[in-house]
Amino acid sequence: MSAMTTVLVVDDEPIVRDVVVRYLRREGFDTLEAGDGDAARTLIATGTPELVVLDLMLPGTDGLSLCRWIRSRGDLPVIMLTARGEAADRIVGLELGADDYVSKPFSARELVMRVKAVLRRAQPRQGTQEPLVFDGLELDPVSRDVVRDGEVLRLTAKEFDLLYFLASNPRQVFSRSQLMASVWGYEAALDTGTLTVHMRRLRAKIEHDPANPRHLETVWGVGYRFLP
């Protein structure tokens, strides 16, 4: 990963920020720190961070509100930090467009691995991947645009990766663990509710009738597949 890649760590606990920042710097990342949502918003507005590690429990502007604001501005990757037992907030965060989450207490090395995986997936693809065109649906892996019936859709980095992976292997059924490993970049140590939320968001964006999807089919007891 480039040494110029900047990660913003947003947490109101100085000890947590210090540990995360030290591990990120060891791996060659530049870092910024914020102890509350308002300070984080100011740093993000400068356009400097390329990924945000975001604690949900923040004074002032809370993590969920900040995540909503980040996503309204574009596709800046977000990894949430959540306390154990905050399943509802975690799901809401994923629904708002967060790319991944790590539960406290966490391993700093695992968090750095997640950061690398999310950034790797967010990088533009060059040359080796071809645009995919289906009836009314187009996916361009270079621009990372998805067009449905002439309308350009706004997808997060992870949503695009998930859709492109499935669409590149039409009609093939993938288990949840296979999708987590292929799209998130590591074996799924986290619960696959992350995948469920991303699939629901994708269907809401690309399907005309998300309750009766034409392209993204659930194969009960197995996983998911893309129908061209």
Domains and CATH numbers, the chain: 6-122 (3.40.50.2300), 132-226 (1.10.10.10)
Residue 118 half-sphere exposure toward CB, CA atoms < 13 A: 25
Task: Provide mean pLDDT across the span 209-226.
Answer: 92
Report in angstroms the alpha-carbon separations of 88 from 101, 142, 228: 13, 35, 34
β-sheet bridge partners, residue 10: 34, 54
CB atoms within 10 A of CB 69: 16
List, for residues 31-52, the tens digit of each pLDDT value: 999 999 999 999 999 878 999 9
CB atoms within 10 A of CB 204: 10
List, for residues 50-102, the tens digit of each pLDDT value: 999 999 888 888 888 999 899 888 888 999 888 765 677 778 888 888 888 88
- Kindly give the pairing relationship between strand 145-148 and strand 151-153: antiparallel
Task: Provide mean pLDDT across the span 111-123.
Answer: 81
Query: What rounded mean pLDDT belongs to the chain?
Result: 85
Task: Return the minimum-mean-pLDDT range out of 15-29, 66-80, 131-145, 189-203.
Answer: 189-203
φ and ψ at 52, to 5 degrees? -120, 125
Is 12 or 118 the better-scoring residue by pLDDT? 12
List, for residues 101-115, the tens digit of each pLDDT value: 888 888 888 889 889
Task: Return the minimum-mean-pLDDT range out of 12-26, 178-192, 210-224.
Answer: 178-192
Burial of 210 (0-12, 13-18, 19+ CB in 10 A): middle
Integer Cα distance of 172 and 90 in angstroms: 30
The predicted pLDDT at position 191 comes to 58
The DSSP symbol for 191 reads: -
The predicted pLDDT at position 30 comes to 93
The residues, ordered by sequence, that sit 6+ positions from 63 with a Cβ below 8 Å of its Cβ are 10, 37, 54, 55, 56, 57, 80, 93
The predicted pLDDT at position 85 comes to 59
Q: Give yes or no for residue 149 having a pLDDT over 60.
A: yes
- The answer to whether the pTM exceeds 0.75 is no
Q: How far apart are the first and last CA of the chain?
A: 35
